[in-house]
Amino acid sequence: MGLAADRLMREVPFVAATEAYRAELLQHCYRMLGSGADAEDLVQETYMRAWRGWAGFQGRSSVRVWLHRIATNACLSALEGRPRRALPNGLGAPGDDPSQPLPEDRDVLWVQPLPDPADVATANASLRLAMIASLQQLPPRQRAVLILRDALDWKTEEIADALGTTVPATRSILQRARAKLSEAPLDERDVVEPTEPEVRALLDGYITAFEQADIHSLERVLRDDATLEGTKSKTWFSGKRTCLEFIGRSLHQPGAWRLIPTTANGQPAAAAYWHGTPYAIVVLTIARDGITAMTVFTDTALFPRFGLPASAPPHPGLTNGD
């Protein structure tokens, strides 16, 4: 048998057994790394490691567990010596002067959003942006144990075996991770799914406000405790009035902004174009009574990852502002 035929005989069953887990492996690596681009790289690394070990895999666990074990350890290796990713609200108190230009901070490794698959129906709480940012505050091994236990529902014994540690040590790590995460509790009680009518109405109101440069329309869709942060600066703002004062400086004329609705992290989002040019992906946290958080990702490399066009067509009925 030739080398090509031998490879084919190994490759066909490998692909058949493993390919169905690619999407959930991407989500797992994203929880670990806080970056969609890094997660894609680590999924590729996982499949390369799995392919090299396929001949020796003898079904001592399910293929799914085996792949997640490989992915977890690949992520832990990748995280060694790397600074944690963050969002501005995890780096300090909100700013108090929205009239000043934001200082640009190039030394921060920012959390990135994850595009939702086309057939997403409901939000996965473990993938929401606030949860991903909170997970990044944990040391990598604590992060891994917490994700395997709470997101994937692994038994403590399985986690200990995957990470090469003892059951008592794993329980201790899990306890510390949960204690750390509880220091910044995530209130998801008011958050609604992106498919619900209230969400679409609020997203449409947000988009219309920007495209028509209408600060009063924007005021109507924001909740009083709304926050605004972006991945250029550590400075962020809290409270509707403060957020509106800052945003008002960038609305300009009707037609200057074009926003296209999308979704990320199981949340409503909008791709913002300035005079037709990609500017940012804005991920919104929405409750039934208004928008509670606006997170602005100014990395334009995200646009092709979200399947977005390189330029936006003009809005019907609006003229591009100068």
Q: What would the DSSP string read from start to end of 160-226?
A: HHHHT--HHHHHHHHHHHHHHHHTS----TTB--TTSHHHHHHHHHHHHHHHTT-HHHHHHHEEEEE
Strands 222-230 and 290-297: parallel
Q: What is the pLDDT of residue 50?
A: 95
At 94, list the tokens: 């909100």
- Lowest-pLDDT choice from 168-177, 193-202, 220-229: 193-202
| C-alpha to C-alpha distance for 307 and 292, rounded to whole angstroms | 26
Question: What is the per-residue pLDDT across 108-158, written as a single tens digit (0 to 9) for each?
Answer: 999 999 998 765 545 477 899 999 999 999 999 999 999 999 999 999 999
Could you tell me which residue, 199 or 31, shows the higher pLDDT? 31
* In the predicted structure, residue 15 carries a pLDDT above the cut 60: yes
Query: In sequence order, what DSSP letters do the residues of 112-158 get, joined into one string?
Result: ---BPPTT--S--GGGSHHHHHHHTTS-HHHHHHHIIIIIS---HHH
| C-alpha to C-alpha distance for 89 and 136, rounded to whole angstroms | 13
Residue 91 amino acid letter: L
Q: Is the pTM of this model over 0.85?
A: yes
Tell me the average pLDDT of the chain.
Answer: 89
Residues near 117 by beta carbon (within 8 Å), at least 6 away in sequence: 23
| C-alpha to C-alpha distance for 1 and 12, rounded to whole angstroms | 16
* In the predicted structure, residue 196 carries a pLDDT above the cut 70: yes
181 close to 138: Cβ distance less than 8 angstroms: yes
Q: What is the pLDDT of residue 24?
A: 93
| C-alpha to C-alpha distance for 151 and 285, rounded to whole angstroms | 21
Give, in degrees to the nearest 5, the angle at Cα 278 between 273 and 280: 80
Find residue 238's DSSP bridge partners.
227
Question: What is the per-residue pLDDT across 52-90, written as a single tens digit (0 to 9) for each?
Answer: 999 888 777 899 999 999 999 999 999 999 999 999 999
| C-alpha to C-alpha distance for 230 and 226, rounded to whole angstroms | 14
Q: What is the pLDDT of residue 59?
A: 74
Q: Give me the domains of the chain, ranges plus CATH numbers.
A: 83-137+190-322 (3.10.450.50)
Q: What is the pLDDT of residue 261?
A: 95
Find residue 271's DSSP bridge partners.
260, 281
At 210, list the tokens: 């920007």
Question: What is the per-residue pLDDT across 252-274, written as a single tens digit (0 to 9) for each?
Answer: 889 999 999 999 999 999 999 99
Residues near 23 by beta carbon (within 8 Å), at least 6 away in sequence: 117
